[in-house]
Amino acid sequence: MTLMKESLQEALNKQMNREFYSSYLYLAMSGYFKSLALLGFAKWMRIQAKEEWGHGMKFFEYLGERGAAVKLFAIDTPPAKWSSPLKVFEESYKHEQKVTGWIYELVNLAIKEQDHATNNMLQWFVKEQVEEEAHASMIVEQMKMAGSEGPSLLMIDHALGKRE
């Protein structure tokens, strides 16, 4: 039995599934880039997909540690095509901003429910979202400056392919 309030359990389960959707979204983006022979972009997104899956698993493990029920929902199908590589990263950035909002809502709920353990766990995600938004925003800005065609695009592709 858990001391975690039902409202918080439901919200954490919902976020866990959102993180799994994020993984699907980035995997779809990776597939899109692969279809364009932009293998550096594809690799970057594939690594991002793994990272997002890991975020979902952090929620999964935490719920289990607290004795809360884990609820897995159907994962929506992400888009498969975009109008340009720049649009992919603009969508990625907007998505990360949405995730940040959801994490902040969870922090507010944990504070409201006086669940200090959950608030503490969520601080990792607060910090992570700063990094996630910064990376996506930086790539968007670089693509805007360099242009999203020809040699400039290939240069960015090469740089992103170095992500470990």
Contact in structure between 93 and 140 (CB atoms under 8 Å): yes
* Segment 124-144 mean pLDDT: 96
Locate the domains of the chain by residue range.
6-72+82-160
Q: Which fold has domain 6-72+82-160?
A: Ferritin (1.20.1260)
Cα(162)–Cα(158) distance, integer angstroms: 7
pLDDT at residue number 44: 97
Question: Residues 79-101: pLDDT tens digits?
Answer: 999 999 999 999 999 999 999 99
Question: What residue spans of the chain are helical by DSSP H?
Answer: 6-35, 39-65, 85-112, 116-146, 150-160
DSSP state at residue 70: P
Report the mean per-residue pLDDT for the chain: 95
Res. 146 pLDDT band, cuts 50 70 90: confident
pLDDT at residue number 3: 80
pLDDT of 148 higher than 70: no
Contact in structure between 136 and 92 (CB atoms under 8 Å): yes
**CA angle (22 as vertex; 20, 23 as ends), nearest 5:** 65
Amino acid at 131: E
Token reading at 9: 């359990």
Contact in structure between 44 and 138 (CB atoms under 8 Å): no
pLDDT at residue number 2: 60
